[in-house]
Structure 1
């Protein structure tokens, strides 16, 4: 069960569990802290894992105005500060990876190691780089729950869906379209004038070789723009690596933050 904290005009839901250095995890666009339910079990023996629901997501109550990525990054830093955490390893996936980039640029002292998964550079508009997928997923989200299987195909590879048929209905329980989902859509389109090449934290970029939503070429371009960044390309993995390959993603995070070669 989550705890709640009044934070920068929100009532933020969060969970903190595990042992070891703090690992802050930032979920994707229409996800929540529950996006990390499976991978947490692999991480909590090694980290004190901090997950929370961003504005307009999950159990967090928010102001009725769209958030910017700067808002979300400042929320993350404020949550850490309120919990007495001056510095943490940070993991961000998909849109959460863009929040993590923004956090690294606005609050560099708060980050130890940075892991960016299934995400793309801040200056890049995903709807321009992958218009077919962005348009299709928006239409399919509007048709949920009837379109859950078609939407899942953009997040999981066909072979994975064949072997794990339950994943086909991953999006069936997604909340219906609402004012908060419309605000979140606007947040996802935010493009702050920040340059990832100025990220100073040791960085690992993880990409799924079969990611249909954020093609691996975009993640690799992000890695190339960050000085000294390492790259891990996961074969046979799509967009939701934290759900599809939690053991592999967790091992990458553990090894990277401990200084092992990736």
Structure 2
């Protein structure tokens, strides 16, 4: 069961959220897009209210989930915007389901997995544990990093899902297996690469390298913001995205 939300008027635009958040990431950005698009957000596997049988998966599987969602909604094509980890899923979707894609927007993302040298020490240790196949150590690290994931709900006192930490482990593992370097030349959609000038998670050079490989890519670097550009500059970003996608079909 996939939890989704669709609001607005116009051609469909699907927004793909990041690694540790859900569709609420786009609460601000969608307000500036709904006058031009039917904006669709949804919770990916192991996020929000979406429910799948627990199992390992890859970004390719998440891209296929999106294809199935479009089919269920009766949509033959859509624009797709992915932010951070969602941008990785969007790349996979563009490569696997080009026939379903109109315009593509890749925000604060990269062609390669998150690298330990670029993230905080606890996250780097978690990534190294997953890379080495030490899932038991990864679970212990995540339990220390995010104890609230296994605590009780402040509203009801009921336990949160016992699978929350396991779900994050699966999402981190999917990130570790991702790599589209050398493949983005096969993307046929018109593509806008959006990046915050001060992004400390994914360097701007990664965005430029990615755009250099996509045949029909343009780049928008947003001043005064970092990795969460969709919440730091939502109106500015939405205006640019709207103009770009108007010509992308």
Fold match by TM threshold 0.5: yes
**Cα distance, 1:113 vs. partner?**
0.5
User: Partner residue of 1:215?
Assistant: 203
Residues 131-175 of structure 1: CA deviation (Å, up to 9, x unaligned): 1425454579743479xxxxxxxxxxxxxxxxxxxxxxxxxxxx9
User: Partner residue of 1:3?
Assistant: none
Question: What is the TM-score of this pair, normalised by structure 2?
Answer: 0.81
**Cα distance, 1:248 vs. partner?**
1.3
Residues 94-105 of structure 1 correspond to what in structure 2 (within 5 A)?
A: 94-105=84-95
Matched, 1:109 2:99: yes
User: SS where residue 2 of structure 2 aligns?
Assistant: strand
Match of 1:143 among 142, 145, 153: 145
User: Partner residue of 1:205?
Assistant: 193
User: Partner residue of 1:252?
Assistant: 240
User: Partner residue of 1:156?
Assistant: none
C-alpha separation between the residues in 1 aligned to 2:59 and 2:79?
19
Match of 1:185 among 161, 166, 172: 172
C-alpha separation between the residues in 2 aligned to 1:103 and 1:190?
15
C-alpha separation between the residues in 2 aligned to 1:233 and 1:220?
10
Moved more, 108-117 or 251-260: 251-260
Question: What is the TM-score of this pair, normalised by structure 1?
Answer: 0.77
C-alpha separation between the residues in 2 aligned to 1:63 and 1:72?
14
User: SS where residue 178 of structure 1 aligns?
Assistant: helix
User: SS where residue 43 of structure 1 aligns?
Assistant: coil
Moved more, 191-200 or 35-44: 191-200
Structure 2: state its 5+ residue gaps: 126-140, 149-160
**Cα distance, 1:126 vs. partner?**
2.6
Residues 185-210 of structure 1: CA deviation (Å, up to 9, x unaligned): 11121225671111000000011110
C-alpha separation between the residues in 2 aligned to 1:214 and 1:91?
17
**Cα distance, 1:228 vs. partner?**
2.3
Residues 132-171 of structure 1 correspond to what in structure 2 (within 5 A)?
A: 132-133=118-119, 135-137=121-123, 142-144=144-146
Q: 1:218 to 1:115 in 2, by over 3 A?
A: same
C-alpha separation between the residues in 1 aligned to 2:226 and 2:180?
28
Instruction: Decide whether the 8 Å contact of 2:8 with 2:34 is kept in 1.
Output: yes
Instruction: Decide whether the 8 Å contact of 1:89 with 1:111 is kept in 2.
Output: yes
CA RMSD of aligned residues (A): 2.2
User: SS where residue 32 of structure 2 aligns?
Assistant: helix
C-alpha separation between the residues in 2 aligned to 1:53 and 1:191?
20
C-alpha separation between the residues in 2 aligned to 1:249 and 1:67?
31
Structure 1: state its 5+ residue gaps: 1-10, 147-174
Instruction: Decide whether the 8 Å contact of 1:209 with 1:238 is kept in 2.
Output: yes
Instruction: Decide whether the 8 Å contact of 2:114 with 2:175 is kept in 1.
Output: no
Aligned length: 218
Instruction: Decide whether the 8 Å contact of 2:5 with 2:41 is kept in 1.
Output: yes
